[in-house]
Structure 1
């Protein structure tokens, strides 16, 4: 099957842990590889302002589009006459970059009609038999592109091409959507109102119009139904996976030597973007609280924040002592001050996966203090590597961390409670070892092959989708008939 995967606001080739790159980038990268391994041909589309790899430049090879003109020549190359770049990221997987003037995620959100037209004009997107969109921006663009196709089929404005006859009843390609985060849920869990009304309204439309919604956990499924009005039979649960060939237990001392940690140090690890929703402030405040209650333990503890500020260019020079550079956000300014005041905390920039696994192996405990988390891939990767986590009891994290068996769950974000949990695990090596062993066993359930199979197994039949097109256009398409029983 020919599959188009949309990750428009952030490229799956970008380094997770900085800017707008996080667990979703890993999800897209690993799931498209699993699709290819299952025998499918995958085209991935991004409009990441940082380019194909999210770094600020396009490193992809300029290649022929098969229409007689090389991409980047300015000729009509089958992509609406625009320049474009692409690169082969693995066998049967091509990553395409759509050219826009948008420089931020918000600007991309305001350019959805443009993105939809770029997709509709792209021959590889038009060849798709199934579309899997990630995040609301991609989903909106995919649905709008389908509308453009339908409009042009109903009322062609120019003669049909000689090599492609006009097909008014052309099969409507099914669209599946993974939200990854839901705006209403982020507002609810963080007790804020930070998400744009545009996003909140769009997610309700997506829930009503997409052929399939993909939830990572039963909790996310309930949120899709209760918060954005999804019909229950339109939502399938497909738990994310872990690359078990990479994330597996390893020798702790060797990993510490490679990373420059001493064998007698206690290492508390935080992995991810530094932002309010991820609870980075809770991690820093908990380590400061640990110093207040147990100065001796704190004196041999290193709190490693492995990540960069969300939305901040990772190439921006850090401040003195490796501290993050000051940024305009009130939250990040406050966080920067807290980090500077706590001597045990060290900020390190994000690292590739083959280095990240060394951090998991070298650390004593992972902390995941998120205020909202649809799943929590970092916790799953750490678990597979044998590292127990202290995590917030929110979203999908309880799917990964079984309290008292494979880690610890904290019901609030009070730094004192987090400091108590950190102190408990750092002082009990046997407990850490036991929790880590159970974490490895629990992580076995997370498999990318199973993730994509769960989605493909319930795809709407294209003929059924086409048969219901008239009612869909009227806003009353019966989902259960299109999707079948789950």
Structure 2
């Protein structure tokens, strides 16, 4: 099957943990590779303002650090074209946007570029990621249907197909982010678009049963059009290994207690909770805090990391306050995001991962850490309880009170036997997350050309 995958606002080749790149980039990169491994031909489309690699250039690679070579024969007017593997091509649409918000305002132009692109026109199936991609694909199809309305038969050759099924992975839902964070930060444009997408897409791919419920309750999606396909983990990479060896490679001392945070630094991810919890730990247990190092591995959302080591400009009140809090807490160190082959060493070297998100559709870093033998203290929100079983493979915190997070950190750092037990169970629990099963669940649920589901609604959610 010929599959088009849309990740327009951020390239799957971008480094997760900075700018607009995060777990979704890993999801797209790994699911595309799983599709190719299953025998499909995949064209990935991005309009990342940073370029195909998310860094302002045309050369890059996958989220796993692999390389991609530019196609010297690519049409310059169609943007850069990178051949990731024999079966995967990454295309960059040169829409000219410099930010995600500008990209959202250029959806009609993106739809036109997609309809003009020969590799998009021949797709048998379109899988979109995030609302901008979904809206562009649906608008492209509206144009296609209008053009083909007078046709008496199927469109063949180099012409546009009448219709390819469109699947949507939201990754985050604006209404849910507002609900969970008790804010109204999301743009009305996004909120309106997501309701249209939920009504018009052929298939909604939820990461967890919790996200499936949110799609149904918040966006009024037809339950028969939603399937659960849990994200996976690269188990060939994220495996337990020697903590001592990993610490030596990263420059950590053997007797340090390492508390790790991985991801973009933003309010919705609860970075402030992580910093405040470590400050609280210093107040209540100075001796433990004196040998504890909190590593924040990432950069500010929407801002690329600088070359000096992870500093970010105070571009908002939240970031200014977070910068000040980090400066005032001697145990906290900010490091720039790293490729996955180095990230796994951080997971192996640390004692505990903290994931204090205020809203989280899944929480991929918690799954990667678990597979590497690192238990997590995580918020009991969204998909995180799918990964962290409280008291068995980690700890869940029901609120964002730094006192409660400091208590959990102190408990685990003072109980090495409990930490080891949680780590073993975390590895076992992570085995359920497999990218092959992710793409199989989505493909099995594909609607046919008429929009009828290929699975019974009772089976939806199985994976």
TM range (shorter): over 0.9
Instruction: Indicate the residue corresponding to 1:43 in structure 2.
Output: 43
Separation in structure 1 between the aligned mates of residue 133 and residue 404 of structure 2, nearest angstrom: 39
**Equivalent residues in 2 for 1:351-430, closer than 5 Å:** 351-430=338-417
| Distance change (3 Å), C-alpha of 1:323 and 1:61 | closer
Change beyond 3 A, Cα 1:323–1:279: same
CA displacement at 1:323 relative to structure 2: 6.8
After superposition, what is the alpha-carbon deviation per residue over 1:256-302, rounded to whole angstroms, capped at 9, x for unaligned? 00000000000000000000000000000000000000000000000
Distance in 2 separating the partners of 1:389 and 1:484: 35
**How far off is 1:88 after superposition?**
1.2
- Identify the residue that residue 289 of structure 1 maps to in structure 2: 280
1:221-240 correspondence runs (5 A): 221-240=212-231
Partner Cα separation in structure 2 for residue 238 and residue 354 of structure 1 = 25
Deviation track 1:388-415 (CA, whole Å, cap 9, x = no partner) reads: 0000000000000000000000000000
2:268 maps to 277
3-state SS of 1:152 partner: helix
Alignment partners' CA distance in 2, 1:216 and 1:11: 20
Among residues 191, 197, 216, which one is paired with 2:182 in the alignment?
191
Native 8 Å contact 2:131 2:194 kept in 1: yes
Report what 1:201 is aligned to.
192
Match of 1:71 among 47, 51, 75: 75
Provide TM-score, normalisation by structure 1: 0.89
Stretches of structure 1 lacking an aligned partner (at least 5 in a row):
73-81, 466-480
1:396-452 Cα offsets, whole Å, 9 max, x none, are 000000000000000000000000000000000010000000000000000000000
Q: Would you say the 8 A contact 1:379–1:400 is kept in 2? A: yes
Q: How does 1:430-441 map to 2 (within 5 A)?
A: 430-441=417-428
Counterpart-to-counterpart distance in 2, 1:483 and 1:179 = 21
Cα RMSD after superposing both structures:
1.7
Instruction: State the match for 2:140 in structure 1.
Output: 145
Contact 1:323 1:340 survives alignment (8 Å): no
After superposition, the C-alpha distances for 1:43-62 in whole angstroms (9 at most, x for unaligned) are 00000000010011111655
Q: Give the Å deviation of 1:324.
A: 2.0
C-alpha deviations, 1:77-117, integer Å up to 9, x for none? xxxxx241111112300000000110000000000000000
Aligned to 1:24: 24
Residue 442 of structure 1 aligns to a residue in which SS?
helix
Contact 2:145–2:162 (CA under 8 A) maintained in structure 1 = no
- What secondary structure is seen at the aligned counterpart in 2 of 1:459? coil
What residue number does 1:485 align with? 456
1:454 to 441, 452, 458: 441
C-alpha distance in 1 between matches for 2:312 and 2:443: 44
Aligned length: 447
Structure 2 Cα separation of the partners of residues 278 and 221 of structure 1: 21
Contact 1:366-1:387 within 8 A present in 2 as well: yes
2:104 matched to 1:100?
no
**Which residue does 1:468 correspond to in 2?**
none
Q: Are residues 1:33 and 2:33 paired?
A: yes
CA distance in 1, matches of 2:48, 2:143: 23
SS of equivalent residue, structure 2 residue 71? coil
2:327 corresponds, among 332, 340, 351, to 340
2:122 corresponds to which of 116, 127, 135: 127
- 1:349 and 2:336 are equivalent in the alignment: yes
Specify the structure having the higher radius of gyration (Cα).
1
TM-score (normalised: structure 2): 0.94
- Report the secondary structure of 1:214's partner residue: strand
Structure 1 pair 391–92 and aligned structure 2 pair: CA distance change class (3 A): same
Q: What is the CA–CA distance in structure 1 between the aligned matches of 2:424 and 2:435, rounded to whole Å?
A: 21
SS state at 1:270 partner: strand
Match of 2:111 in 1: 116
The aligned counterpart of 1:5 is: 5
